Every structure is written in structure tokens, then in C-alpha cells.
Chains A and B, each alone.
Chain A
Amino acid sequence: MNFEYAPAPESRSIVTIKPKYGHFINGSFVAGKKHFPTINPATEEILSHIALGGVSDIDKAVAAAHKAYTKTWSKLSGKERGKYLYRIARILQERAREFAVLETLDNGKPIRETRDIDIPLVAAHFFYHAGWADKLDYAGLGHSPKPYGVAGQIIPWNFPLLMLAWKVAPALATGNTVVLKPAETTSLTALLFAEVCQQAELPDGVVNIVTGDGSTGAAIVNHPGIQKIAFTGSTDVGKKIARAIAATDKKATLELGGKGANIVFDDAPIDETVEGIVNGIFFNQGHVCCAGSRLILQESVADEVIEKLKVRMAKIRVGDPLDKNTDLGAINSKEQLIKIKELSAIGDAEGAQRWSPQCELSTKGFWFAPTIFTGVTQANRIAQEEIFGPVLSVLTFRTPQEAIDKANNTPFGLSAGIWSEKGSRIFWASQHLKAGVVWANTFNKFDPTSPFGGYKESGWGREGGKHGLAAYLKSGKETGAK
């Protein structure tokens, strides 16, 4: 019997997209001056037009955030701040389906992922941080730790609303106000989030959203009224920011790139490992800073794992992100697709063997079939550089120490995976891996209580958990914004 799944599209009618958006400053939407189109990467249809924020827009936003901080937000008790965050969390739960559909349209990722992973995590982040607002004395940062004032936040396009939650929730819980710039290609859920702030009756100016491009982000980084910067994005831009603030007192947390090593030992639970490998690199089209983009297989099980992996990859359903049965959606932008293709061509040139299952890809939109390169070595560029797409580089190892050495042999240090049924081996490996997040017998798992961030060039600081609060609170003798 040929069991083809009929199309099962989620309806778009739940969400209303305006033809044009401005910025959200001081509790209301204000018109923008210049606009640029934002598209659905699965179809290239234009969804709306987004305002290109300039220095004056940032000025207004920072002024609003500063006023809100001094006049309102810093005067509220943690208890009351927390209740606003609880409201936001609950409204996000109520409007969850609307946000999931909008995120899928704007980003290109499958509705199953936005519905089952992104949006529930978004609500959970606000819920978790709401409860910290009046418990900061217990966060291990001393008695009555103080916020900075206005935090400038710049977020990426791969998990638009989730990255917003990771930034806004702790900032507000700790008593800061924010000016946030969403990514150029994915601003729509941030703009809808502004509506949630209004429904929650969040005081004006506590959250401000200014859309735009790299220049808008630079305006935030350089603004004298912002002493605390939080950035998630590429390592290159992260370094630019670090240089830009070197001569200032500004503090920054940076969540940057990675080239995560997924290590499979010979005693791994093989079928679940294959699922974990697939989840590690093909979840979210591989647009994940902590993706398991290097598979490091013990040589004795390499053939078996690769064989099973190929069989499993052939079952990945690539297609319309709004179809509930789609596993792999569209690449977020033409630019990103070009980068993925370029690096894959480099992989071919370096002599690695490329394999993809047969995939019918639409001619409209930006698509890339799930791909593995076997026969990759540490010296290859595709083992060193972040591709940020559904491309897996496969290497082998002989001894546990060799696996660790290969995993650590990179300027990055964000994530790693360990697959083994031996507990002592898992703890040994996790002790030796230089990675901010280590997953054992699982991958790409996130929780608001679990701190996330990288070693080395993967960034500074952690988000989530008790540790994530530290970024938004001044410790000891530091001076900050008045």
C-alpha cells in the first residue's frame, strides 16, 4: 500500500498581516520613514513592508526606555513587574497558534516546529522569568542586585520570537527596560509581540521595538544611553561589537556561532542516536548556532550508523512549511542559500563525498535538500566553518580521547553531543568537552531553567537559568547607567 500523506495545511486565516509596519516606541506604533519588503522564503511572496530604523528612531526609543525606567519600571516592586510578565506569558499561550503561523510564514520553518517547540518555549521563558522578578535576592548575586537601566538587544532570524523571549524576559524580570531590534528578514512576530505588550498593559516604554538592518543594530551598539548590550548572531558581527565597545564601559553578552560536535561511541543506542543526529542538524533547517554539524563517529560503528542515517534521511519530508507533515522547511533567505551552496561546493572540492536523498524541491522559494558529507577530516573547511544549513560533516575517531580532541579542535565552543549507554563515559566526556552546552543521548533540547551559551568564540555569557540573570544585573562595585 502506498501511504502518501495528503496535504494537511494549517490555515493562514488566523493571522492578519498589515501591509506596512512602523516601530513600536513608548507603547504605540509610530510610522517609519523608509521601508523594505519582507517575504515568505518558501514562496517569495511579499508579506509586508518593514520600517528601516535610523539613528533618530533609536534615539527616540532609548529616550522612551530611559524615561520608562526612571519614572515607572524602577519604581515598581519585583512582585508587580513579575505580574506583567505572567500576563505576557498567558497571552502568548492564548494566541499561540497565531504566533506559530506567523513565524512559519516569515521564517520558513515548519509549522510543526513553531507550534510544538518555538512558541511553547517562548511562553515558558516569560513564565519562568516572571517568577524571578521578586526573588532576585536568591539568585546568588548578593542582596538587592541592581539592573542597568536600558538594555539594547539585537536578535537573529533563526528563532525570531524565541530569541526575543530569551532577551526580553530576563531583562524585564531584572528591572531593565529594552530597545530591541529584530532581524531584517523576520520582524513580524516581534511586531505582533508589541500587541501582546499592549494587551498586557505593560507600561509605555518598557519594551520598544525598532526594525531595520545592520545599521540600525550599529546605532543601538553605539548609543551612549545604552550600557548593556545583548546580541545573538554571527561570530563576525559579535567581534565587531566587542571592538566597538572596547573603549567604553558598556557590557555585552554575545551568543555567536558554533560547529557542534556530535560524538557517537560504539555503545550508543543506535536507532535513537540516528534520530538525535537528524534532529541535531536538520531541525530548523540547520539554522541553529548549536547544531550538531560535525558528526564524530567511532570507526567501529561508522558504517552501520551512516547506512541507517541515509535510510532515515530519505524519510525527511521537505516542503510547504505550513503543511503539518513537513519536517524540513525553506532556507530563510537567498543570501543564506548562496552561502550554503558555496560551502557545500567547497566540501565537494575538498574531496568529501556528498549524499542527499531524492527530493522534489519547489522552484519558487529557497530550498536545500538535507545533505551529508562523509570522509571529512579536521583539515577540511566544511569541518571548521559554520555552514548554518542542513549540511552534516561526518568524521571518525578511534579512541575516546581522540573524539574529545577533535571535538575541541575549533575556535568555537557552543555545543556538543555524546551518545553512549555508559554513564561514566558520558560524565568523563562532558568534563573534557570545551562547550557551553553538552547533550548526552539527546540534542537540541532547550529549557528556560537551563543556561545556554558558549566557550571561546561562541560568545560571552549565558542565557536562561539562574546564571542567565547575571547578565542583566550589576555586580558589586560596577557603575552603570543612572
Chain B
Amino acid sequence: MATKKESRVKVNKTYKLFINGAFPRSESGRVFEVSSQNGSFVANPALASRKDLRDAVVAARSAQSNWSKATAYNRGQILYRIAEMLEGRAGQFESEIVLTSQVTPSRAKAIVSEAIDRWVWYAGWTDKLQAVSGATNPVAGPFFNFTISEPQGVVAIAASVNFIEFIDAIAAAIVSGNTSVVLVPGGLAVPAMSFAEVLATSDLPAGVINILTGSLDELAPWAASHMDIDGFDISGISKKMHPALKEAGAENLKRIHAFGPEKTPSRILAFMESKTVWHSVGV
């Protein structure tokens, strides 16, 4: 008697958050459903709460000092390693993007290639920012005067559902030594969590990038008002929400910016501060 060949049951992934280098569930226990184009079930990513956001900010803050003290070379090495890991998993990202957004497989391939190349572009900035944005200033007196650029601290990011912009925003924030808390809406949650897995295997110190999947409407206002967040990239949020976020952010003079799709070092410099030092010169 011929036995019918069994079709293999796949081991589906559970989706959690990425905080401090680990993958906890949301403290709220909530999830939201992501479906594919044709309405079939894809995943139940965690629906992050404001307490998850609070925890992520604590993790980002405690990682920030060491991340900024790492040499630019070291940060560049780690970021390039992330690109190597991304490249190895390009196929996975492509199929997840096809599954969760309205693009064709060939378009998804182009998106993933561009995203990886963008990440590499940013990785190459770590040790060049000072040459481009710093200066020595010829003040009118016997002083050695120089200006350097430093990271601001913890940067929140409200990611757009576009994978390339998601990558851009994160890279731009952390290249200089900031750490980040990334708010990820909708179907982007699926490739975003694969991205978290890449981060976990790339020697990136815990807490440098934290990823919270969920609702921007719910989380963004909490990020905007959080007094221990220094910068907020709101490119992924609809313009009508911007005024409220900026008003809330005014309480600690948060540096709030929205960017277009081009890659530019201005995106990096927007989350940096300049420091100018004077030193007397004499025997």
C-alpha cells in the first residue's frame, strides 16, 4: 500500500519585543494580528505598552555611555558586521516584505539590497563625522579652540512602514554613539523582528537598539513626553500628529526631526551636539 508523503508542519516563530539584548514579551500581554495580502494569518507580534517603552528607555540609557565611548572604528566594525548578517539573511527579509506589504518579489529584492547598502553607507561614517563636522577655530587670542560633535544620548524613532526608511532612521541615530528605542507599526513588525535577531548575533552591545512593535498612536505620545529621551525621529508618523508631539517634547526641549527618503549625513548630525573647547597656549 502506498503511503501518502506527509506535508511537513512548519515551526512558526513567536514574536516578542527586543529590549536590552533579550526578547521579552510585552508586560501587558497584548498582541496584534498581522495578515498577508490575501488576508491569511502571518503573526501575532507583541503590542508594546508604555511600560515596555519605559523599560526600553532604561536599557538604552544604560548602554549609551559605553556605546559612545567605544572607538569610532569599533562602532564601524560592529555596524559592518550587522550588514554581513543582513546579507546572509537577505532571502528571509525579502519573503517577509513580500508577505506583509504590497510589493512584488523583485521589488522586495531591490528594497533589501538597497537597505543593506544604506546600512553599509552609514557604517562608513563613524570615523569620518569629525573630519566633516568638526573644526579648529582661529579665535583672536592665544587659545587652541576646537569644535567636536558628540552624540545626544537616547533617540526614539517612530519608524515608517517602509523598510529602507526603517533602516536609515536606526543607522543614522546610532552611528555617532546614540542608543535608540524604535517604535515599529503594522506589518513592518515581522521584518523588524528578524532585524532584531540579526542585531542579537552581531556583537552589538545590549541596549544600543531596542525594538518595540505596536501602535504608533499609542506609543509616540509617551515617547514625546518622556523626559529621559533626548531626540525623536518622527519621520514615520503622519504629519497631523507632529504638532502634538512637538508640544509634548518641548518639556525637555527634545530634538525632534522628520526626514525625507534621501541618505544624508545631516540625518546623523541632527542627533549630535557640538562642543567647543578653549585651551590657553603658552609656556
Contacts and interface: CB of A to CB of B under 8 A. Distances in A.
Chains A and B directly touch (beta carbon < 8 Å): yes
Interface stretch (A53-61, A78-86, A289-297, A353-361): A78-86
B127 A82 contact: no
A83 B118 CA distance: 12
A127 B73 contact: yes
Q: From DSSP, what is the main secondary structure of chain A's interface residues?
A: helix
Given A127-B76, A127-B77, A135-B125, A86 B120 contact: yes
Given A86-B80, A466-B132, A425 B283 contact: yes
Contacts of B144: 427, 431
B124 A424 contact: no
Interface string A33-63: 0000000000000000000000000000000
Nearest to A133: B124
A428 B73 CA distance: 30
Contacts of A476: none
A134 B124 contact: yes
Interface in A420-446: 423-425, 427-428, 431
Interface in B73-108: 73, 76-77, 80, 84
Interface string A114-137: 000000000010011011111100
A449 interface: yes
A142 B236 CA distance: 33
A413 interface: no
A431 B128 contact: no
A140 B131 CA distance: 9
Contacts of A428: 281-283
Contacts of A130: 124
A367 B77 CA distance: 39
B272 interface: no
Contact of A465 (B73, B84, B121, B131): B131
Contacts of B125: 131, 135
A424 B76 contact: no
B223 interface: no
A86 B121 CA distance: 11
Interface residues of B, number: 25
Given A124-B73, A466-B132, A400 B120 contact: no
B132 A138 contact: yes
Contacts of B132: 138, 140, 466
Interface string B117-139: 10011011111101110000000
Interface in A396-434: 400, 423-425, 427-428, 431
Q: From DSSP, what is the main secondary structure of chain B's interface residues?
A: helix
B192 interface: no
Interface string A76-113: 00010011001000100000000000000000000000
B42 to A, nearest CB: 33
Contacts of A448: 127
B280 interface: yes
Contacts of A128: 73, 127
B72 interface: yes
A217 to B, nearest CB: 32
A439 to B, nearest CB: 16
A131 B123 contact: yes
Nearest to A77: B117
B5 interface: no
A79 B281 contact: no
Contact of A400 (B117, B123, B124, B283): B283
Contact of B283 (A90, A424, A466): A424
Nearest to A134: B121
Contacts of B24: none
Interface in B43-84: 72-73, 76-77, 80, 84
Interface in B266-283: 279-283
A426 to B, nearest CB: 9
B121 A424 contact: no
Interface in A131-186: 131-135, 138, 140
Given A82-B120, A86-B120, A449 B281 contact: no
B116 to A, nearest CB: 10
Contact of B121 (A79, A124, A127, A423): A79
A124 B76 CA distance: 10
Given A79-B117, A79-B121, A132-B124, A449 B283 contact: no
A431 B281 CA distance: 9
B76 A131 contact: yes
Nearest to B280: A424
A422 to B, nearest CB: 8
A425 B73 CA distance: 30
A433 B167 CA distance: 46
Nearest to B131: A466
Contacts of B126: 131
A423 B124 contact: no
B76 A427 contact: no
Contacts of A83: 120
30 contacts: A79-B120, A82-B120, A82-B124, A83-B120, A86-B80, A86-B120, A90-B84, A127-B73, A127-B77, A128-B73, A128-B127, A131-B123, A132-B124, A134-B121, A134-B124, A135-B121, A135-B265, A140-B132, A400-B283, A424-B280, A424-B281, A425-B283, A428-B283, A431-B281, A448-B127, A449-B128, A449-B131, A465-B131, A466-B131, A466-B132
Interface of B: 72-73, 76-77, 80, 84, 117, 120-121, 123-128, 130-132, 144, 265, 279-283
List the 4 shortest-distance A-B pairs measured between CB atoms, nearest first.
A131-B124, A466-B131, A427-B281, A427-B144
Given A86-B120, A138-B265, A427-B279, 9 more contacts: A127-B73, A127-B80, A131-B128, A135-B121, A135-B265, A138-B128, A424-B280, A425-B282, A428-B281
